[in-house]
Structure 1
Amino acid sequence: MIPACSSVLLSLSCVPTSVFLLTTIPACYNSKLRMDLLQSVSFLLVLLYPGRVTSDSDVVRVRRGELTVLHCWADPGDTLLQVTWKLHLYNSSCVISYKIEENDTETSYSSCSTRMRSDNLSLSISDTDVTDEGTYTCIVINDKRTFSTDKSLQVLAPPSTFLRLTSDGSAECGATGGNPPAEISWIPHSHDINTTVLGEPDRTWSVISTFSSGTINETSVTCVVSHPTFVNPWTGDIRLRGYGLRLDNILRLIIIVIVTILIAGVLYVKLKQQEQKIPGEQINEES
């Protein structure tokens, strides 16, 4: 004979007043049936009424190679039933579910990296890489409501910098393997600067900036590289020895040409004067 149990009415605050759900369950508070039904109903509400589920958002920034720990919010007074992490990465997605049944827990992983582990309300990622960037949605299901938390994970990777001269004498400054892309500027500023940003297969960025030496009146320039992982901007100085004519050399050449023309003109005039003077002297001597 099945014992008679009183019925309970589950009220879900995340559903608007015009939409209600009556679920009659035997009041056996620790039964697996009640827990499974609560979890199923909560998941349906997340899908049907995403705007009514209480939510929170945050941005988490970590360095590449560090341990990342993401936390969900939950009221300590509520009975925790299930925690689910939904990961939306650059070109993949996966789900981690942490289910609590009476005195037992069960964790399931679906297409997630082996570096990821779920423990109660937290998700840990060992040796965090740039490919782990994305949106991490945590859905907490308890006996009263469903709570959703969005975490945007940004992985910072410090770039490697260099400064060198190219074959034509221009200055080339670069920041490779960084995330996000580095910013490169020059001192002094010039309009003849070419900067290229390249995405690498490992989702890092390479920034290459070339300063042409043929259009400025400078013997040296300074490259400045800025990045969120740098306490202070990286700077490097380099002397220009380009094969092109710089402004100071052009001015010297113009002055030399003008002086040469003037000297040649003076010599030409004097020579003409001497040629005109010699015939007159010969006539006087004959007379």
Structure 2
Amino acid sequence: MLCTWKTSDLQLLLILTVFLVAERISARVEDPISNSTQQMGKNNDSLALSMVGKQNDSKRLAEVNSSQPVRVDTKIVLSCHPIPTSVLVTWEIILRDKPLCTKAYRSDNNVTKEVNCTDKRITWAFRPDQNSSLLIDPVAITHDGYYRCLKATPDGNFHRGYNLQVLVAPEVTLFRSNNGTAVCKAVAGKPAARISWIPEGYCVPKQEIWGNGTVTVWSTCHWADSNVSTVSCSVSHPTGIRNLTIELSQGAPKSDGISMPHVILFIFIILIMLAIVGSIWLLKISGCRKCKLKKIEGTPVEEDEMQPYASYTEKKNPLYDTLKTVKTSQVLQSEVDGTDLHTF
């Protein structure tokens, strides 16, 4: 009985050992599979993230917007997305208080079309089949708005937009008012200009907005310090910076050009030169008149030249006198002969 129990115990231990070994082997086999599955999951996640990133990049490339400032009375060329092959090119122009203007070109049938586009200053810059850029010439204040180019290609749709901002330089003036304050004014600028003073004083800024979008700003300043004799006004604008200076005691503004004393000196020099030239001219005229009078007094006048016909009649002609004498003697002879005949 004891031997039989021992044999059965050994068999049970052997069976348990086999099961334990089999379980350990199966566990070792499953671990690489699960590890590979997790690695594949991580790879898929990174691939998905990279695909999403690429899609976002392509979206950013497809839709490009930029701000484009341009001065009034100039010209500008707005380019479309640089895609060589496109089936359809469309420009959408959104202006203030105007309907949407659309300019389109189809390359498959080489046809252009316009809808609600009445401004002749906005045209294709070149042939649309060669270059799809847009030309604005000349730029006006009314061209402020949004311009978008849409290109349909086999690879997708691409957009490029421009926020066009038309700049108008203001007319800057600086003058002194009656109450002793200085006024700096920037008229009809777009956008509004900014005014600053040197030295700083007690200033009151004001502005006025016009219907065409331009703005007039002015600043009135006074200085409590009586030692301030000269002040400067600086007007900042996207088109440039203007600086003007004025003397509070005289009120004559000075710009970046010629000062007033220089102008007065220049005028004085011109007057002196004119006086010198005029004196020389008068002396020359009076000298010529004196010379002519001397020549006239020194030349004798002959009586025959003054009275040619009278001298001709007074002179004796011998030939004429001889003929007259002959004729007289002949007449007397004929009268004597006639008397004799009557006598006989």
Give the TM-score, by structure 1 length. Answer: 0.59
Aligned-partner Cα distance in 2 for 1:53–1:229: 31
Aligned-partner Cα distance in 2 for 1:101–1:75: 13
Give the number of the structure whose alpha-carbon radius of gyration is greater: 2
Distance 1:240 1:102, change over 3 A: same
Distance 1:209 1:52, change over 3 A: closer
Gaps (5+ residues) in structure 2? 1-50, 52-58, 251-344
**Bigger helix share:** 2
Counterpart in the other structure of 2:217: 207
Shift of 1:201: 2.1
Contact 2:94–2:101 under 8 Å retained in 1 = no
Contact 1:96–1:110 under 8 Å retained in 2 = yes
**Bigger strand share:** 1
Aligned-partner Cα distance in 1 for 2:100–2:165: 18
Paired residues for 1:1-150 under 5 Å: 54-76=62-84, 78=85, 80-118=86-124, 119=126, 120=128, 121-150=132-161
Contact 1:136–1:152 under 8 Å retained in 2 = yes
Aligned-partner Cα distance in 1 for 2:134–2:90: 10
Instruction: For residues 59-115 of structure 1, give each alpha carbon's deviation from its aligned partner in whole angstroms, at most 9, with x where no partner exists.
Output: 222211111111110421x3x222222222233342222222535222213144221
Aligned-partner Cα distance in 1 for 2:113–2:225: 65
Letter in 2 for 1:163: L
Shift of 1:52: 9.3
Counterpart in the other structure of 1:229: 239
> Relative contact order (alpha carbons < 8 A, sep ≥ 6): 1 or 2 greater?
1
Runs (4+) of structure 1 exceeding 3 A deviation are none
Aligned-partner Cα distance in 2 for 1:200–1:116: 25
Percent of aligned pairs with the same amino acid = 28
Contact 1:60–1:151 under 8 Å retained in 2 = yes
Letter in 2 for 1:210: T
Give the TM-score, by structure 2 length. Answer: 0.50
Counterpart in the other structure of 1:265: none
Gaps (5+ residues) in structure 1? 1-16, 18-50, 243-287
Bigger mean CA deviation after superposition, 118-127 or 66-75: 118-127
Letter in 1 for 2:218: I
C-alpha RMSD of the superposition: 2.4
DSSP-derived class of the 2:87 partner: strand
Instruction: For residues 20-65 of structure 1, give each alpha carbon's deviation from its aligned partner in whole angstroms, at most 9, with x where no partner exists.
Output: xxxxxxxxxxxxxxxxxxxxxxxxxxxxxxx899211122222111
Counterpart in the other structure of 2:225: 216
Shift of 1:171: 0.5
Count residues with an aligned counterpart. 187
